[in-house]
Chains A and B, each alone.
Chain A
Amino acid sequence: MHDTAHAGAHHAPTSFIRKHVFSLDHKVIGKQYYGLGLVAVFIGMVLSWLMRIHLAWTNAPIPGLHLLSSAGAPGDVMTPEYYLQVMTMHATFMVFFVLTVAPFAAFGNFFIPIHTGAEDMPFPHFNMMSFWTTFVAFCVMILSFFVADGPTLGGWTQYAPLSAVGKVAGPGQGAGVVIWATSIAIFCVGQLFGSLNFIPNILDLRCKGMSLWRLPLPTWAWFITSCMGLTSFSVLMPACILLILDHVAGTSFFVASNLVINDQLQPHSGGSTLLWQHLFWFFGHPEVYIAIVPGMGIVSHVLITSMRKPMLSHRVLVYSMGALAVLSYMVYGHHMFVSGMNPFSSVLFSFPTLMITIPSTIIVLIWIGSLYGAKIRITSASLFALGFISLFITGGVSGFFLAQPPIQILLHATYFVVAHFHFTMAIAAIFGIFSGTYFWFPKMWGRMMNETLGRIHFWCTFVGVYAIFMPMHYLGLAGNVRRYSSFAPDYMQPLVPVHQFITIAALFTGAVQLIFLYNFFYSKFKGPIAPENPWEATSLEWTIPSPPPHNNFGDVHPVVYHDPYQYGVESSTGDYLMQNSPEQLKSGVINDEP
């Protein structure tokens, strides 16, 4: 394997464009992805503020909103349709351009070649195309804000036939849907390019001594995620193309016969309503794990460094993440229990869904069990990693309810579901991104972030997200349906004060993200210069300068002698031993599984 470790090597570029824009360097591409994620997360967050304000105070004007859409917010008051459009865009930007892009594409690009001891990805041109394709997808999605009747209002799930019959179904359902589906299809291509680089890099570009079991946990997580990306984006992309064809080519893949909309008999016939749901969720459920598994890897990596001891079992964590990935294809029907799918199928999908609790529980127990006897160093990164565990537990236990068809009779499409997926795939994943950012910032940008600001950011965010999302469980139990722009049914009226509380918490939590933004940009330019290994960590990224040179390891080919997590040992460096150190420990070698 080490003979091919420099397969993707190329000379350092000299021009500005090849260095910073159309770069082949996996590190630049990783940072570009991170930047894209950062822009998208702030768009998504502002959209969520608009949604929350409207839900809590439906008729209150939001100053300046008419500038975004004069039709959507006459007199600065949001219309019900504009609420749905904002909601759809919030979810789309967050799921695709943040939760997929940041933990997977951004950190994965930067660190996979370094973790494997390679000079670059095996196919650097594909890698560059991966980012720029994703960037085009992002621009296309932004475009939908500026077409005549605005972006689509159909939700990020885009259920047919609402999404497939054209503008007769509502504002944004014509051009808005076509733009949405085009953007997502392009996005899928970008992510396929990414996965096609990650997998061969991890399998074939490992340096001497780097057996698979010596790969650090994030790289294992990115490997598993790449496999999921390969098999799920390749289903969503054709589904989006079929949806576009229903709009522009007169086909009826997703539209049944004899539909009457606005008193007009639709010209479609013979399509299937449920086909879209099957195709979408066959992608959609693995996507949940695409968002969260990289976070699990990152958090494990950060925790081990902070605990000064390895996990109880490296392999069990890897096997469990793998089990999540495999099971994720067998559970997607739990999104469709009351969809009209055969009710026997609901039972069949319910058991694998319940079973997925087992690998998830194993992962959590390994984390908690590993804390036993540790010497946790509290940093911003480790606080976010510990916060991740708490959030993942909270999101996990609500899964017990939603895995069961009879309970979904009460809870399907309510705020309970909103709480569940935000705790797991959204907020926990975001905590994984923050943890990774505080941990790897010195390596990626060569400067240290401010710890005090990092901790303030953590405390406000941690308490804030619980204040936002925990009450949503209660709303769901009371039958509060999601995707309502206001709460017209009588029985939902008494729940409005809870929404007002959530909105205040969301505005506060969103505002404290400005602390992170300030810390990020201030530190990038003015932060103290980072040493090579500020956290006394052991994996290969900490054996090279911060930031790493163009070809990562200079002109040497690294050789690896140990598993990546030699902590709590007595070596010449202290309580840890670098992965590439030839030093052999007399005693206390732990968890070495070559």
Chain B
Amino acid sequence: MAKLFAVTLLIIAIVSAIPIIRNTWHPMEDISAHGQAIDDQLSETMWEAGISFLASQIILAWFIWKFSGDRPGEKTQKKFPGGAKGLVIAAIVLVGIEVFALGIFGVKAWGAIYFTQPGPDALPIQVQAGQFAFYFRYPGPDGALGPIHADKISEGNQNFFGLDPANDVDSRDDIVTAEMAIPVNKEIRLLMHAKDVSHSFYVPALRIHQDFVPGLDLQLHFTATKVGRYEIVCSQLCGLGHYNMKAYLSVLSQQDYDDWLKKEAAMQ
């Protein structure tokens, strides 16, 4: 029975590792300027976690195989070489160094997104999350976004951002869209606003994941490096339509982006 356990454990460990080694399921291809550091951190961690996982399961299986059942005449008091002290030192030194190193390198990858400021030329785009859709707002030729008036927000008359162009000059040329488009290789300054409850802005391809906080407008900045069509999904439980809260992100060449924006402006 013990030997069967050991073999089962071994098989489970190896079968579990195969999809990772073969890279069957993996994060989608990175299209961001900052994402490489995150991917490197992930693969570093995968190596360390993978080795720890396999080594400990295999040793566990081996000991169960070897040290089960009664062995008359033999005492059980045999201590593990090095004893508890050796194991504690090994845990503190090996695992301590390993996790500390991961932590330090992780700060670099994290800081590239959160501890840097967007450049002065970054393109501002506002995203508003509400049950259960994202809406986007681009400043018109004046380069400024008009203020949001919560009391004017209405899905019914399609005033998603609660704009008041009659009184706010800045709002008059704002362009509101249901899809997001950005020019490739251009830094974006994303202004995040939640209309009702918490939501999240998760774009796996862009290596961006940030919750919307009702009452607190946050900013993010990023640069997409590859033309294509990607998905933005909500990852923060926001109500019954949560599963269906998504939008498309088109990364376009500058020319295509300009054309797109012009077309959207004409439809306002």
Contacts and interface: CB of A to CB of B under 8 A. Distances in A.
Whether A associates with B in a native complex is: yes
B186 interface: no
Interface of A: 79-81, 84, 153-155, 159-162, 165, 169-171, 173, 255-263, 265, 271-274, 307-309, 312-313, 316, 338-340, 343-344, 346-347, 350-351, 354-355, 357-358, 361-362, 364-366, 368-378, 383, 386, 389-390, 393-394, 397-398, 400-401, 403-410, 412-414, 455, 459, 462-463, 466, 470, 474-475, 477-479, 481-491, 495, 498, 567-568, 575, 588, 590
B27 A478 contact: yes
B231 A490 contact: yes
Interface string B2-29: 1001001100100010011000111110
Given A338-B210, A355-B99, A376-B68, 8 more contacts: A155-B237, A161-B196, A173-B239, A400-B49, A404-B102, A413-B202, A455-B1, A488-B246
B204 A393 contact: no
B153 interface: yes
Ranked 7 nearest A-B pairs via Cβ? A256-B215, A373-B78, A313-B84, A343-B114, A81-B240, A258-B150, A406-B109
B91 A383 contact: no
A368 B110 contact: no
Given A376-B69, A390-B9, A478-B25, A409 B49 contact: no
Contact of B60 (A354, A355, A368): A368
B26 A477 contact: yes
B150 to A, nearest CB: 4
Contacts of B91: 358, 361-362, 365
Contact of B242 (A316, A386, A474, A484): A484
Nearest to A401: B45
A263 B26 contact: no
A481 B26 contact: no
Contacts of B28: 478-479, 491
B77 A590 contact: yes
A484 B68 CA distance: 45
Nearest to A354: B99
Instruction: Tell me which of B28, B50, B80, B207 has the highest count of chain A C-beta atoms within 10 A of its own C-beta.
Output: B80
A355 B104 CA distance: 13
Given A153-B239, A259-B195, A410-B207, A394 B42 contact: no
A255 B150 CA distance: 15
A360 B60 CA distance: 16
Nearest to B151: A265
Contacts of A84: 237, 240, 242
Nearest to A371: B63
Contact of B76 (A373, A390, A394): A373
Nearest to A164: B197
Instruction: Tell me which of B1, B113, B196, B202 has the highest count of chain A C-beta atoms within 10 A of its own C-beta.
Output: B196
Given A343-B110, A375-B76, A463 B25 contact: no
A409 B67 contact: no
A371 to B, nearest CB: 4
B209 A409 contact: yes
Interface stretch (B51-59, B118-126, B135-143, B258-266): B51-59
Given A375-B67, A393-B57, A273 B243 contact: no
Contacts of A386: 5, 60, 64
B98 to A, nearest CB: 8
A488 B242 CA distance: 10
A159 B236 contact: yes
Nearest to B26: A477
Contacts of B2: 376, 378
B197 A390 contact: no
B190 interface: no
Contacts of B87: 312, 362, 365-366, 369
B38 A406 contact: yes
A370 B130 CA distance: 55
A210 B56 CA distance: 35
Contacts of B209: 338, 408-410, 412-413
A272 B215 contact: yes
Contacts of B1: 378, 383, 455
23 contacts: A161-B196, A256-B215, A258-B215, A259-B150, A261-B131, A273-B215, A273-B216, A309-B77, A358-B95, A358-B96, A370-B80, A372-B63, A373-B77, A376-B69, A386-B60, A400-B99, A401-B42, A404-B106, A407-B38, A463-B8, A466-B16, A481-B235, A568-B75
B134 interface: no
A489 B59 contact: no
B41 interface: yes
Nearest to A272: B215
Interface string B188-203: 0000000111101010
Contacts of B77: 309, 373, 568, 588, 590
